[in-house]
Structure formats: structure tokens, C-alpha cells
Amino acid sequence: MTRLIAVTTSAAGDAHTHMAAEALKRTAQSMGHDLSVEEQTTNGVKTSLSADEIAAAEVVIVGADRFLDRDRFAGKPLYAVSTSEAIRNTKLVIQNAVAMAESLSNAQLSTKSSPQSIPPQSSPQSIPPQSSPQSIAATQNISTPAHSVPTEPPKTNERFLVGITSCPTGIAHTFMAAEALKQGAIKLGHEIKVETQGSVGAKNQLTDAEIARAGAVVIAADTHVDLARFKGKSVYETSTKAAIHNAAEEIQTALAISSATASASTAGSATGGSQGYLDEVSAAKAKRSQQRSGPYKHLLTGVSYMLPIVVAGGLIIALSFVFGINPPAGTFGDALMQIGGGAAFALIIPVLSGFIAFSIADRPGIAPGLIGGMLAANLNMGFLGGILSGFLAGYVAKFIRDKVKLPTNFEGLRPVLVIPLLSTLIVGLLLVYVFGGPISAAQVGLTTFLENMGSTNAVLLGLILGGMMAIDMGGPVNKAAYTFAVGLLSSNLFAPMAAVMAAGMTPPLGLALATIVAKNKFNQAEREAGKVASVLGISFITEGAIPFAANDPIRVIPACVAGSAVTGALSMLFGCTLRAPHGGIFVLAIPNAVENVGLYIAAIALGTLVTTLSVIQLKRFSPTQKKTASEDLKGSVTPV
């Protein structure tokens, strides 16, 4: 007997969700397996899976036609199908899920499997009578001609993969992860097409035909990605950071899961798959259990939706300064100020709060999140209040959605009346009577401190923010510093933003300069990457330094931190301010966007020089690099 758990949710309606759940439950029981099912309906969760049930499960069946949060199943084998497939071919779904669990379990115990072993072909008895060849192929993720049964699983070197990359800002990590996946696939002898969901929308979009042909799907994302298109496919989810640094390994893991699933579909047994690939699955399971926490992901989702508003509003405000700091009413400059400051900046905190709540509770969290964010802004709670209200709204809405039950005849009132009313009321009262005063006082205290701090404290703050920008180059520490500075823009504090952007520019600029003045310290691939790093640096894309850090982190990262810390400290010392949250050196051309622009450029230049000299000095103690270093770098990231 295999312990199974399942989650069903359908965009077609609650009836479809319930039918899939009942079909899976009854079929599993008739086959002698233990299965618990959770139904996620528009009115909330029915029979929610407990932590003990998830921990004891050997495999998770996901029958979903819309977004489903899978974080709580980290480390568990997932078998994903559509609700329609779960209803029509229930027995085959159960067989495949059980066989996949057994395949992965046996592969971990086996020590003699051949890397080139091919799973045995299925016997006619292993295919349920109600399953058409097309449905079997869809479950196996194998393209087959109509009215034919596949006689041989596709060879690994013939696999075609598809993928999606997406990061909170939708700029550098999105495209670097895409390029890394492409290079990793090439190294392994595979072909992959990657769709990038960046700040300007989806590019290189996947077609239905390409998805149908794909043997596996790789999702490298730090924000929510809709997986409805990939129902019935083997989907492997990871982070953009993992894709950038270990693209080949991530692709091997995705192929291993796909191979195990296809093997289970074909034979209903656990004899196929490459031992090397399945070892990667075991390692990936352990790694994913240590990945970013839920709250961090929710915060980044809110920031990703807030950032375009901040950038648009900040740049429009900066443009208004062409007509003076305080343009007269009725002028064009005043109109720009109303658009950027009066409208766009007024939405920063509500949008941050609303989409943090959306990440936690899906659509039920939007209403209390937006209202709570607006209330936080009106109570002068600042960005700290926006973050707090977002998490409050998300978890309160999720609790009400999952726990509050109504009679069947009144279930339709839950999503349109009960959840938004109760969650908004609870969040609003908590903000007004519990958190509003303390958070507002803290925000006022922080603002007052930053406005009146002496040069010593300013330099110290600049050192800290600058170092944070370089220590992980786009990772959580970098994002924390950037979010802090952006949040202060709504309080009319512009100096930290200047320090953060300047410090984020120096790592790629310093490394690019080092490849020019000390060519012998870098291999050919690094020298080529340096050319692109200079462009990324002046554009305020810190991730341009990642190829160097990935190849030699012990020497590169300290040098980058030193240069960025110096730049941040000097920017604060010089009293530089920046009213636009992005744009790099190009924003300097906008009149009044940067205060003390000459000293600001000097701070960036000095920090760049510190980075260059530091990395050259540290490289003096570097052992002779192997010839393969160039190949390793190209396998990690291709400059974009």
C-alpha cells in the first residue's frame, strides 16, 4: 500500500474540483492505496491536508487547472495532471503516481543501475481499457501519432525542453537564468526554449505545439508563474539563482523527474531511468527543502508588482524638475508632479501590501491587502506599515478562506461578501487600534533620524547599504537594501536611494575595469564578460558581476563588497540624493534628478577603483586557473 495525498482545483468550477477529488479517492481505495484529498474551491479549502499527512505521503498528486501553491510539498515527488485527466483516466493517474514514487525510492537504494538503461516497454495489460493512445501520450509527456502506442521512450539526447524564467524585478536575473538554461541544455546535448516573463511582459513565448512536444518543463522563478498551460507535463520548479549557477544540474534534475514519470507511465514499474539523473533528484529534494522561505517569496512578489509603479512615478517626478523643484500650479511641470507624486507614489504602499497578500492567499487577499495598504499610508505607517498590512491581510484572508464554513446554500457568498468583509474589517481594526500607533511612531522616528543624522551615521549607513548591495548581487540581501531605499522614497528621503544605486553599479564596473588593466589575471571568457559587465554596470544591473563571482567567489565577492561599501559611504557623506529608483547613469541626464551630481559621479568612480584594485590584489594570490575555467564560466552564464 502506498500513502498518497492529492490536491484538486479547477478553473472550470467547484463541481469539477469535487469530481476529480472523489474519482481519485475512490479509485485509490479500490486499488488498495491510502489517499487523502484536499479540494481547493472558490469558496475555500475542503478537508485541508495536515502537516502529518504531507510528511507521511510518498507522492503528491496535483490535479489542477489553475495556480496552486506547492511550497508546502517541497521535497516530495509531485505527479501533476489536469482535473479532466484525473476524472477520465483515474486508474492510470494512480498507477503512474505510485510507480513514480517506487521508481524514485528504488533508484535511491540501487547502486548498480546503468546510466544508459532504458525502462522496459509497457505491456498491453498495463494500459487501462478506457485510456486512449492520446491520453496515454499526454500523461507520459510523449508525442505520438494518432491511434498508435509508443513502443520506445524518447532517448535522453533527443529530449526537447521548455522553460520559464521570472525574477522580482524582471530585469537581469530573468534573462541571465534563461541564457544559463540554454547553455546548460547545449552542454548536455539537449534543446530548450525559454520564455522570459520580465518587466516588459513575456518574451519568446512558448506555443501550444512546443509545450506538447516538450519532454520536461523547467520553471526558474522567484515569483508566481501560472502553470495552467503545462497540465499533464512533468514540471520542475527552481529559483533563478539555482538556474544561473547550476543550469546543467537543474536540467538533469528536470529530466530525471520526467524520465521517472515516463517510465512509470510506460511500464507501471520502477526499473527505468539513469542512476546519475536520479541521484540528482535526491540531491535536489534536499536542496529545495532549504530554499527561500515563504515570507521572503511573498515580500518579493509584492516588490515585483510595486517596482514598475515606483520607477514610472520616480522618473516622471524627476522629469517635472526640469520645470523647477516646485512648478507653479497649472503648468506642465505641475501636471507631471501630479501624475508621478500625486497618483503613482500614492499607490506604492497599497500595491505592495495588496500583492504580498495576493501571494499568500491568492485572489481573496487582494481586497484586504489593497485596503490595508491604503489605510497604512493614511495612518503614516510608511512602507513598514505596507509590509505589515500585506502579511496581515494575506494570512487573515487565507485563514477565513480555509476555516470559515457556511451552509451549502450560502457558499456563494463567501468569495464576494464573507472573505473580503471579515478580512478587511479585521485587518483595518488591527491597524487602527493595535499596530497603527507603534508603526507610525517607528516610521517617524526612522525618518527623523535619517533626516537629521550626522556625517558619521550617514557614512555608517552608506557602508552598510553599499555592502549589502554587493554581497549577493541580486539575492535576498541585495533586495532587502534596495527595498529599504525604495520604501523611503514615499517618505521623501532620497539619500539612501542614491547610495544604493551607486553601490549597485560599482561591482560590474570595477570588474570590467580589472579585465582591462590586468588582463593576465582573467581568462578569455572573463575578459569577454567584462565588456558586457561595463554596460550592465552603468545601467545599474549588479548581476553583471555574477559570472566573475561564480567562477572565483572567495576573491571577487570581498572586492565587490569593499568597493560598494566605499561608494555607498561616499554618496551619503557627499549628501547626494536620487529621486528616481532606477536608470543607472542615464538618469543623471535628467535635471534635478540627482543632487550633487558631480560628487555622485566621483563616489561611483572611487568605488569602482577600489573594486578594481582589490580584485587585482586578491588575484595575485590566486592559484593558476585551469583551462576548463573558461568553459565553466560559459556554462554558468552567457553575457546578455
Per-residue pLDDT reduced to its tens digit, 125-150: 333 333 333 333 333 333 333 333 34
Written as nine digits, the cell of 550 is 561564480
pLDDT band at 475 (very low <50, low <70, confident <90, very high): confident
As a whole number of angstroms, the longest Cα–Cα distance in the chain is: 82
pLDDT confidence tier of residue 100, bands split at 50, 70 and 90: confident
Does residue 267 register a pLDDT over 50?
A: no
Radius of gyration of the chain (CA): 27
Q: How far apart, in whole angstroms, are the C-alpha atoms of residue 547 and residue 239?
A: 17
Whether residues 303 and 249 fall in one domain: no
What is residue 201's predicted lDDT score, i.e. its pLDDT?
A: 63
User: Are 395 and 314 part of one and the same domain?
Assistant: yes
568 within domain boundaries? yes
Q: Count of CB atoms within 10 A of residue 295's CB?
A: 15
If asked whether residues 188 and 332 sit together in one domain, one would say: no
Tell me what pLDDT residue 594 has: 85
Q: Which is more confidently placed, 626 or 606?
A: 606
Give me the pLDDT at residue 135, please: 36
Residues 360 and 472 in one domain: no
CA distances from 513 to 81, 108, 607 (A): 51, 48, 12
Of the pLDDT bands very low, low, confident and very high (cuts 50, 70, 90), residue 608 is very high
DSSP 3-state percent helix, strand, coil across the chain (nearest 5): 65, 10, 25
Task: Give the residue-averaged pLDDT of 230-241.
Answer: 82
Per-residue confidence (pLDDT) for residue 569, from 0 to 100: 94
Q: Give the number of domains in the chain.
A: 3
**Residue 30 resides in a domain:** no
Let me know whether 555 and 617 are in one domain.
yes
pLDDT value of position 619: 83
CB atoms within 10 A of CB 453: 15
Give the separation between CA 307 and CA 348, rounded to whole angstroms.
8
Asked whether residue 431 falls in the same domain as residue 462, the answer is: no
State whether 396 and 528 are in the same domain: no
Domain CATH code at residue 211: 3.40.50.2300
C-alpha to C-alpha distance for 316 and 326, rounded to whole angstroms: 14
Whether the predicted pLDDT of 535 surpasses 90: no
- pLDDT reading at 171 higher than 60: yes
- Whether 504 and 364 map to the same domain: the answer is no
257, 291, 325: which is the final residue of a domain?
Answer: 291
* Predicted confidence band of residue 56 (pLDDT cuts 50, 70, 90): confident
User: Is it the case that residue 610 has pLDDT exceeding 90?
Assistant: yes
Instruction: Give the residue-averaged pLDDT of 244-259.
Output: 81
Distance CA 69, CA 37 (A): 15
Note whether residue 91 is domain-resident.
no
> Is 167 considered catalytic here?
yes
Average pLDDT over residues 99-109: 66
475 and 411 within one domain: no
Q: Is 193 helix (H, G, I), strand (E, B) or coil?
A: strand
| Final residue in a domain of this structure, among 229, 260, 291 | 291
What is the pLDDT averaged over residues 564-582?
90
Claim to verify: residue 311 and residue 199 sit in the same structural domain = no
**Residue 310 included in any domain:** yes
Determine which one of 57, 162, 167, 349 is catalytic. 167
Let me know if residue 71 belongs to a domain.
no
Where a domain ends, among 274, 291, 308?
291
Supply the range of the domain harboring residue 500: 455-636
d(CA 108, CA 2) in angstroms, rounded, equals 17
Q: Which helix (H) or strand (E) holds 486?
A: helix 476-489
Residue 82 in any domain: the answer is no
Asked if the structure places residue 200 within a domain, the reply is yes
User: How large is the average pLDDT for residues 59-78?
Assistant: 79
- 518 contact partners, CB below 8 Å, separation of at least 6: 616, 619
Query: Which stretches of 268-331 are DSSP H helices?
Result: 275-288, 294-320
Predicted confidence (pLDDT) at residue 423 exceeds the cutoff of 80: yes
Give 344's DSSP letter. I
- Judge if pTM exceeds 0.85: no
Length of the chain: 640
How far apart (Å, rounded) are the C-alpha atoms in residues 542 and 425? Answer: 42
Q: Read off the pLDDT of each residue in 82-96 and give the average, rounded to a whole number.
A: 83
pLDDT at 170 over 70: no
- Helix then strand count (H, E) for the chain reads 26, 12
CA distance 280 to 283: 5
In this structure, what DSSP letter does residue 141 have?
T
609 & 522 share domain: yes
Residue 282 pLDDT: 38
For the chain, the average pLDDT equals: 78
Is the domain of 389 the same as that of 325?
A: yes
